[in-house]
Amino acid sequence: MRQIVLDTETTGLEPELGHRIIELAGVELVNRRLTGNHFHRYLNPERESEAGALEVHGLTSEFLRDKPRFREIVKEFLDYVSGAELIIHNSAFDIAFLNRELDLLDLKPVTEYCPSVIDTLRLAKDMHPGKKNGLDALCERYQIDNSARAVHGALLDAQLLAEVYLAMTRGQESLVMEVESASASGATAEAVHGKLELVVVRATEEELTAHAQQLEDIDKVSGGACLWRKLQNA
């Protein structure tokens, strides 16, 4: 199974008011293993960030001015995520922004390219009702080092979320192991039943005599209760 842990940073909170994505990152999992195949782009939103958003991510207009527009990286991004299951913390937020960017380019919503979306915020609320379930709180709960998270950053947050997701769903690893070991098990069975010859090493006369003496000694000590001799006689 291929999964992409996704995160975005934006100029504000409302895509319908013209706010845009300024950072986009994905971390790939294949069969619950990090592959190192990351996607990460800073983007020129062609507008200013709100003051509150700027405090969160720290990405200034000056820094973003020479970065590509979303339209310039959209094909690369869709090639990266297509066919994968998306894993997003508070997925409604990121999906809304992605769909807004795609709509501006007359492209289909992101869920048309990806079969499903897992919202780790919803998953965390179901698992830990009544507790804080932000990314920092989950890192603390699952003992994941988030000390480098001075400000929000899409790539770092995606990497942390990948570790959180694996910790939250650790019981699923056995299912993956069963699938992966199926071919190996078949190969082993074929080798045992089709190619290998069992070698039987029979006891020598001296070993048989020593064994019989040992059973006799046990029988005497136990008052005739040596089970092995009873089975032999039977």
Catalytic residues: 152
| Plot region of 220 (φ>0 → left; ψ -120 to 50 → alpha; else → beta) | alpha
**C-alpha to C-alpha distances, 39 to 94, 164, 167, nearest whole angstrom:** 16, 19, 22
What 178-185 contacts at long range (C-beta under 8 Å, 24+ apart), as own/partner pairs, is 179/31, 180/31
| CA–CA gap between residue 203 and residue 55 (Å, rounded) | 81
Report which of 73, 96, 80 is spatially closest to residue 17, judged by C-alpha positions. Answer: 96
Cα dihedral across residues 7, 4, 99, 66: positive or negative: positive
Residue 145 near residue 114 (C-beta atoms within 8 A): no
Q: Tell me, what DSSP letter sits at residue 77?
A: H
Query: Cα-atom radius of gyration of the chain, to the nearest Å?
Result: 30
Q: Which residues pair with 179 in a beta bridge?
A: none
CB atoms within 10 A of CB 192: 10
- Residue 15 in tokens: 């895509």
Q: Tell me, what DSSP letter sits at residue 27?
A: E
